[in-house]
Structure 1
Amino acid sequence: MEITALGYLGIKSSQMDQWSRMATDLLGMQRVDRAAKVNAYRMDDRKQRLIIDGSSDAGLAVMGWEVATQSELDRLAGRLDDHGVRVTRGLRALADERHVSELISFSDPAGNPLEAFHGPELASDPFRPARPISGFRTGALGMGHAVLNVENVEALLPFYRDLLGFKVSDFGLTPYKLYFFHVNGRHHSFAMVGSGRKALHHFMVEVGSLDDVGQGYDLAQLDEGRIAYTLGRHTNDHMTSFYVNTPSGFFIEYGWGGRVIDPETWQPHETFDGPSLWGHERLHMPDAQRGRFRDMRLSAAARGVRAPDPHVPPLNCPWLDAVTARN
Structure 2
Amino acid sequence: MEITALGYVGIQSSQLDDWSRMATGLLGMQQVDRGGKVRAFRMDDRTQRLIVDGAGDAGLAVMGWEVPTRAELDRLAGRLDDHGVAVMRGTRAHADERHVGDLIRFHDPAGNPLEAFCAPALATEPFRPGRPISGFRTGALGMGHVVLNVEDVEPLLPFYRDLLGFHVSDFGLTPYKLYFFHVNGRHHSFAMVGSGRRALHHFMVEVGSLDDVGQGYDLAQLDDGRIAYTLGRHTNDHMTSFYVHTPSGFFIEYGWGGRVIDPAAWQPHETFDGPSLWGHERLYLPDDQRKRLRDMRLSAAARGVRVADPKVPPLDCPWLDAVIARE
Taking structure 2 as the reference length, the TM-score comes to 0.99
**Alignment match, 2:126:** 126
Amino acid at match of 1:21: R
Tell me if structure 2 keeps the 8 A contact 1:42–1:48.
yes
Tell me if structure 2 keeps the 8 A contact 1:126–1:318.
no
Deviation at 1:205, TM superposition (A): 0.1
**Alignment match, 1:188:** 188
Count of residue pairs the alignment pairs up:
327
* Cα distance in structure 1, aligned partners of 2:175 and 2:310: 27
Q: Spell out the pairing of 1:134-283 with structure 2 (5 A cutoff).
A: 134-283=134-283
**Alignment match, 1:32:** 32
**Runs ≥4 residues deviating over 6 A:** none
Deviation at 1:319, TM superposition (A): 3.0
RMSD (Å) for aligned C-alpha atoms: 0.6
* Cα distance in structure 1, aligned partners of 2:307 and 2:249: 31
Deviation at 1:321, TM superposition (A): 2.0
Q: Secondary structure at the match of 1:143?
A: coil
Amino acid at match of 1:278: W
Q: Secondary structure at the match of 2:33?
A: strand
Q: Secondary structure at the match of 2:76?
A: helix
Q: Spell out the pairing of 1:272-311 with structure 2 (5 A cutoff).
A: 272-311=272-311
Amino acid at match of 1:216: G
Deviations 1:290-321 (A, max 9, x none): 11100000000000000100000000112322
Tell me if structure 2 keeps the 8 A contact 1:235–1:277.
yes
**Alignment match, 1:106:** 106
**Alignment match, 2:51:** 51
Tell me if structure 2 keeps the 8 A contact 1:185–1:263.
yes
Deviation at 1:289, TM superposition (A): 0.6
**Alignment match, 1:90:** 90
Deviation at 1:324, TM superposition (A): 2.4
* Cα distance in structure 1, aligned partners of 2:241 and 2:175: 21
**Alignment match, 1:78:** 78
Deviation at 1:143, TM superposition (A): 0.1
Amino acid at match of 2:260: V
Deviation at 1:184, TM superposition (A): 0.2
Q: Does 1:12 align with 2:36?
A: no
* Cα distance in structure 1, aligned partners of 2:290 and 2:175: 11
* Cα distance in structure 2, aligned partners of 1:258 and 1:300: 20
Q: Does 1:22 align with 2:22?
A: yes
Tell me if structure 2 keeps the 8 A contact 1:185–1:261.
yes
* Cα distance in structure 1, aligned partners of 2:300 and 2:323: 42
Tell me if structure 2 keeps the 8 A contact 1:134–1:320.
no
* Cα distance in structure 1, aligned partners of 2:293 and 2:33: 41
Deviation at 1:175, TM superposition (A): 2.3
Deviation at 1:284, TM superposition (A): 0.7
Unaligned runs of 5+ in 2: none
Q: Secondary structure at the match of 1:34?
A: coil
* Cα distance in structure 1, aligned partners of 2:307 and 2:132: 29
Unaligned runs of 5+ in 1: none
Tell me if structure 2 keeps the 8 A contact 1:128–1:319.
no
* Cα distance in structure 1, aligned partners of 2:278 and 2:74: 44
Amino acid at match of 2:153: V
* Cα distance in structure 1, aligned partners of 2:307 and 2:114: 34
Deviations 1:111-145 (A, max 9, x none): 00000000000000000101000000000000000
Give the percent of matched residue pairs that are identical in Structure 1 and Structure 2: 84
Deviations 1:133-159 (A, max 9, x none): 000000000000000000000110000
Q: Secondary structure at the match of 2:101?
A: strand
Deviations 1:69-99 (A, max 9, x none): 0110000000000000000000000000000
Deviation at 1:33, TM superposition (A): 1.2
* Cα distance in structure 1, aligned partners of 2:174 and 2:295: 13
Deviation at 1:174, TM superposition (A): 1.8
Q: Secondary structure at the match of 2:28?
A: coil
* Cα distance in structure 1, aligned partners of 2:71 and 2:238: 35
Amino acid at match of 2:31: R
Tell me if structure 2 keeps the 8 A contact 1:213–1:255.
yes
* Cα distance in structure 2, aligned partners of 1:80 and 1:142: 23
Deviations 1:204-228 (A, max 9, x none): 0000000000000000000000000
Q: Secondary structure at the match of 2:181?
A: strand
* Cα distance in structure 2, aligned partners of 1:79 and 1:319: 36
